[in-house]
A and B are shown apart, each in its own frame.
Chain A
Amino acid sequence: MTTIAVPADLGPVPYIVGNVESVADSASELLRASAALDDLDTVGASKSTLDGWEGAGATAYGEKVKTTTKDADAASLAVRRGAKAVWAYGDELERLRTQYDNLVDWRTKLQSSIDTLRADINGSTEEDVTALSARASDLRESASAYDADRDELAKAIDLNNTTLRNALHGVATLADARKVAARGDGADAAMELTGAPGGDATPQDVANWWAGLTDDQRFAVIAAYPDVIGAADGLSAAVRDQANRVLLENDIAELDLAESRDELSPDMKKYRDNIRAAQKALADSEGRNGTDSTTLDPITDQPLPVSLLLYQPGAFENDGAVAIAIGDPDTADNVAVSVPGIMTDGSSIPDYAANARNLYESARLSDPYSTSATIAWIGYNNPSDSDIGHTVTESAAIDGGERLSQYVSGLQAARESSPSVMTVIGHSYGSTTAAHAASDYGLEVDNLVLVGSPGAGGGVDSAADLNVPQVWAGNSSRDIVAALADDGWVGSHTLFGAGLGNDVAEDDFGANRFQAEDETRNSTFRNIDDHVKYYNRGTESIFNMGQIMVGDYDEVVSAEHVYDPWWGPPQDPEADRTPTATNVNRMPDQ
């Protein structure tokens, strides 16, 4: 009789208790709290003496502030250390969870093989012994390897728990935290390195600076300088999003508390609408405010990645600056930045984020085989409310053009490779701003799209002056703002700084004009309603902009140019064309 050593039944895989998402939430909360404490530390350090107050009272105030500030600094570092430890714990938990799932699969298969071997042995004859012994040998080897991996997983679970406990224990008291603080803040040191944002560094400098930081330094600067990191052109969407959400969530929490106590500060009253608008735009875009099909990718039906790429509710004298991306601008094949026009401020972002979702949908339907990202960028001081008088001049567009160009350079610098197609779309006064970015500041794009455009600036005679590969114009024949541009040989160009340049839809200008009428247009007259339809779903304009941003230029439906005959005023052939019927369900290209 021959004995075959069958492996014993396999032990269970060590169970992993924990929820990665919940742990990540916990880490995010701690990061936010750390940032708020760091802010108090910064304010306290800069306000321990007050210009205009001297005497015994001022001295007493200064002493109290210094103590509070010192403790806020220590607490900030302790909570940050906790956040980092919890984050690392969650990352490891995720890795262990994958390892666990793999081991469970392996165990199931291996145990099945062992059970089968036992059954086969029971029904075997002497002739089968050699083959069965070989199978048993293989299984013993596999079972041994399984046991080793199982032990390794158990140890790794223990180590992850121990590491977290030790990290938290290291800052268990304020005294511990003060010792940590005495060694200095790694964030401050990182922000003093060459290329750090906030100074004269270019987007590429900033990208290089970030690449040179350690994980700890990166975490530290997000916690301590979320305002700087969130606004830093050259950093990835993921990093900026994390920093800006820290700022936004803290603002929301502070605003909620102040409103519940009826203690809104004057500043907070001014930019409250901007905070709530950013909150709403994110919730809308992430599908948290009800059913909206544009929150799902039209091809995969999956929720869209959404990033808060800029969040400065107090910028531009509380007009606010904000940008939201739909899709991933760090990796997408096609990226488009939409630049708004007059009467737009931070509180407008829900509408512009909706436009970005519409454009994303159009781009995906235009080319389902490439990836796209669209960005609603309210990042310059465009004329609104009290400063509306600036509209007739180009000063805001010139300043905005510089900012836009830097922003787009930042998108490029944050990527490992340039996108296949980079597009900037300027609407209304935003088209003038985008044109200035191109003509004055070297805008790095493949396509410049001007819609509802009152002109590309007084210094631009034709599309060739914009120095980009493709210039597109999408002016509706019923759009009253598009009629503000200079036309042809009777045009006055800019007069004492007023007026925004030549008609970009005119033949002499030389842009590729595409169809941008809408079937709901006014039957006869130019009007303001037809100025704000370019991003509506199912319109000619959104269809063509989607084709442009994915680089399907052959699919763009061109329109006849405006021309300016000697015998009369400019003529727009589009005025008499029947617009294409609205179709929100255009099928993707096959």
Chain B
Amino acid sequence: MTEQRVDIVVLQNATVLWREQSQAATSAASTIADAPVSGFDPAVRDAVSSFLATWSDITKQIADRAEETAEGLHEGWKGYVMMDMEAQQEFELKYGYLS
């Protein structure tokens, strides 16, 4: 079993950080998708549109993964807190400190 150490404040801060990154990447995906194509020669518009669609999609996927990371951190934080509470309850139950 690997060594474990956790400062749950670190998880909270990282959750906020990744949520911000997800928002930034989501905005970036919209920015790419909304970039104007009307100014291009019709001979290249399809190529430009295809490029924008491809990278908007990929950027959105990256944003979603950043959000998943934030969610994972948040769930992890909750898990550690719950585990700590359960450990406390187990301990107190075993030694009869609970009323």
Q: Which residue numbers of A lie inside 8 Å of B, CB to CB? A: 16-23, 25-26, 29-30, 32-33, 36-37, 39-40, 43-44, 47, 50-61, 64-65, 67-68, 71-72, 75, 78-79, 82, 86, 89-90, 157, 160-161, 164-165, 168-169, 171-174, 250, 253-254, 256-258, 261, 263, 265-268
* A265 contact set on B, CB distance < 8 A: 16, 19-20
Cβ-defined partner of B4 (8 Å) among A55, A168, A257: A55
Contact with A along B5-31 (1 / 0, CB 8 A): 111011100101101110111111111
Interface pair A82/B51, CB less than 8 Å apart: yes
Interface pair A30/B10, CB less than 8 Å apart: no
| Bound-complex Cα distance A55 to B36 (A) | 47
Cβ-defined partner of A71 (8 Å) among B20, B27, B62: B62
Cβ-defined partner of B62 (8 Å) among A40, A168, A268: A40
Interface pair B23/A263, CB less than 8 Å apart: yes
Interface pair B69/A164, CB less than 8 Å apart: no
With both chains docked as a complex, state the minimum distance between the C-beta of A560 and any C-beta of chain B, in angstroms.
Answer: 58
With both chains docked as a complex, state the minimum distance between the C-beta of A242 and any C-beta of chain B, in angstroms.
Answer: 16
With both chains docked as a complex, state the minimum distance between the C-beta of A364 and any C-beta of chain B, in angstroms.
Answer: 34
Interface pair B37/A50, CB less than 8 Å apart: no
| Bound-complex Cα distance A576 to B21 (A) | 61
With both chains docked as a complex, state the minimum distance between the C-beta of A88 and any C-beta of chain B, in angstroms.
Answer: 13
Interface pair B28/A36, CB less than 8 Å apart: yes
B95 on the A face (CB < 8 A): no
B92 on the A face (CB < 8 A): no
Cβ-defined partner of B54 (8 Å) among A55, A71, A172: A172
* A65 contact set on B, CB distance < 8 A: 69
A-B contact pairs, 11 of them (CB 8 A): A25-B35, A33-B29, A33-B31, A40-B62, A53-B11, A54-B5, A64-B69, A90-B39, A256-B27, A257-B23, A267-B20
| Bound-complex Cα distance A145 to B17 (A) | 63
Interface pair A33/B59, CB less than 8 Å apart: yes
| Bound-complex Cα distance A61 to B27 (A) | 24
B9 and chain A: residue at smallest CB distance:
A52
With both chains docked as a complex, state the minimum distance between the C-beta of A37 and any C-beta of chain B, in angstroms.
Answer: 6
* B11 contact set on A, CB distance < 8 A: 50, 53
* B76 contact set on A, CB distance < 8 A: 57, 61
With both chains docked as a complex, state the minimum distance between the C-beta of B67 and any C-beta of chain A, in angstroms.
Answer: 10
Interface pair A161/B44, CB less than 8 Å apart: yes
Interface pair B48/A164, CB less than 8 Å apart: yes
Cβ-defined partner of A26 (8 Å) among B9, B24, B39, B55: B39
Known: A61-B73, A82-B55, A266-B16. A250 touches B48 (CB 8 A): no
Cβ-defined partner of A169 (8 Å) among B23, B47, B55: B47
Interface pair A59/B2, CB less than 8 Å apart: yes
Interface pair A29/B34, CB less than 8 Å apart: yes
* A58 contact set on B, CB distance < 8 A: 6
Interface pair A250/B41, CB less than 8 Å apart: no
| Bound-complex Cα distance A366 to B53 (A) | 53
Interface pair A174/B58, CB less than 8 Å apart: yes
Known: A47-B14, A254-B20, A254-B27. A54 touches B48 (CB 8 A): no
* B34 contact set on A, CB distance < 8 A: 29
Cβ-defined partner of A257 (8 Å) among B21, B26, B61: B26
Interface pair B39/A20, CB less than 8 Å apart: yes
* B31 contact set on A, CB distance < 8 A: 29-30, 32-33, 36, 253
With both chains docked as a complex, state the minimum distance between the C-beta of B31 and any C-beta of chain A, in angstroms.
Answer: 5
| Bound-complex Cα distance A256 to B30 (A) | 12
Known: A18-B39, A172-B51, A266-B16. A79 touches B32 (CB 8 A): yes
Interface pair B7/A52, CB less than 8 Å apart: yes
Interface pair B7/A53, CB less than 8 Å apart: yes
| Bound-complex Cα distance A71 to B44 (A) | 27
Interface pair B16/A26, CB less than 8 Å apart: no
| Bound-complex Cα distance A29 to B76 (A) | 36
The 10 lowest CB-CB distance pairs between A and B, nearest first, are: A22-B39, A52-B7, A19-B39, A55-B4, A253-B27, A36-B28, A33-B28, A29-B35, A52-B10, A54-B5
Interface pair A61/B69, CB less than 8 Å apart: yes
Cβ-defined partner of A54 (8 Å) among B6, B21, B23, B40: B6
B46 and chain A: residue at smallest CB distance:
A165
With both chains docked as a complex, state the minimum distance between the C-beta of A250 and any C-beta of chain B, in angstroms.
Answer: 7
